[in-house]
Amino acid sequence: MATKNIEVVVPPREPHYVGDGFRVHNFIPSAYRLDMKRMDPFIMLDYNSKFYFPPADKPRGVSVHPHRGFETVTIAYKGKVAHHDSSGGGGVIAEGDVQWMTAASGVLHKEYHEENFSKQGGDFHMVQLWVNLPAKDKMSKPKYQSIANAQIEKITLPDNSGTVEVIAGNYQDVKGSATTFSPLHLLNVRLNKNGKAGFEFPENYNTALLVIEGSITVNETESVPTDHFVLFENKGTAFNIQASENAVVLVLSGEPLNEPIAAHGPFVMNTKQEIIQAIDDFNHGKFGYLEA
């Protein structure tokens, strides 16, 4: 099998706040070489690197806002988030959990630090990923997948290397918990110091990783520190990583949809006219109701 080499290693950009509760580095689509077309079907990745929030009586977060045309995937590494949407989805995303919300034809959504976490304060560490939907599914019915850590399939790696959590797609023939509209893989890799893991994805899939904790070496040659993003070339199929210290790595690989992308704020469709329609539908209350 041919080696899949690194195209670029991207350091974290200067952080900005989404609402007052999410201090994020945006990688997709604003970082170097990580535009929506290049990363298709992954059209946004906000990374809340580990950050301490002091106690607060009023939970920090993002008030009611719309989405249409894609899915949001929130992965909690530290801290807790409470969320609700106008289709009836909601709950608490705790450490190790994943929330997979299919906005599709349109929802209103809000997300805040969970009340007890907010009162106590603590380290907050999250990823939010937006996954584009195929044109034929963009106006489908919204749905919600709440995936507790205990429900996530885990593979133990040999030689005490660590574990791989299969959120979506598969790894070593073990299928992930989330259902998806297009072929993609989303894995949390938890490696002990000197632990190794190998991966193989189709050559044409857009493949990347984000070092959540620790540091790693890719293909025995290139060191990648904490909070850095790695984009792989669309050549070759296989790569490996080794932990220089205990590490957590998010691996993502997906088949590009190769469809036109029209994006405006919280709406991602295929044409400008569909964006105009989304704004009009939102202004006329067609995304439902959600109390602020």
Q: In this predicted model, what pLDDT tens digit does every residue of 121-151 receive, in sequence order?
A: 999 999 999 999 999 999 999 999 999 999 9
| Residue 290: predicted pLDDT | 87
pLDDT in the model for residue 232: 98
- 171 CB-near residues (< 8 Å, 6+ apart): 155, 164, 185, 187, 199
- pTM for the whole structure: 0.97
Would you state the pLDDT for residue 100? 95
Query: What is the distance between the alpha carbons of residues 43 and 289, in angstroms, rounded to a whole number?
Result: 26
Q: For residue 165, what are the CA distances in angstroms to 89, 98, 134, 145?
A: 24, 11, 26, 16
Predicted confidence at residue 89, as pLDDT, reads 80
* Of the candidates 34, 12, 39, the residue with the CA atom closest to the CA atom of residue 24: 12
Q: How far is 209 from 202, CA to CA, in rounded Å?
A: 15
Which own/partner pairs from 150-156 qualify as long-range (CB within 8 Å, at least 24 positions apart)?
Answer: 151/177, 152/96, 152/98, 152/176, 152/177, 152/188, 153/177
Question: Which pLDDT score, from 0 to 100, does residue 1 have?
Answer: 82
Q: Up-side HSE of residue 163: CA atoms within 13 Å toward CB?
A: 8
Distances in whole angstroms, Cα of residue 111 to Cα of each of 17, 121, 253: 14, 17, 27
**What residue ranges define each of the domains in the chain, with the CATH number in brackets?**
6-254 (2.60.120.10)
CA atoms within 13 A on the CB side of 242: 9
Give the β-pairing of 98-102 and 143-147. antiparallel
**What number of H helices and E strands is found in the chain?**
3, 26
The model's pLDDT over 180-197, given as tens digits with 9 standing for 90+, comes to 999 999 999 999 999 999
Neighbours of 38 (CB within 10 A): 16
β pairing state of 238-243 and 216-218: antiparallel
Both structure tokens of 275? 């964006």
Which ranges of the chain have pLDDT less than 50?
A: none
Match 């290139």 to its residue by tokens.
222
3-class secondary structure for 242-267?
EECCCEEEEEEEECCCCCCCEEECCE
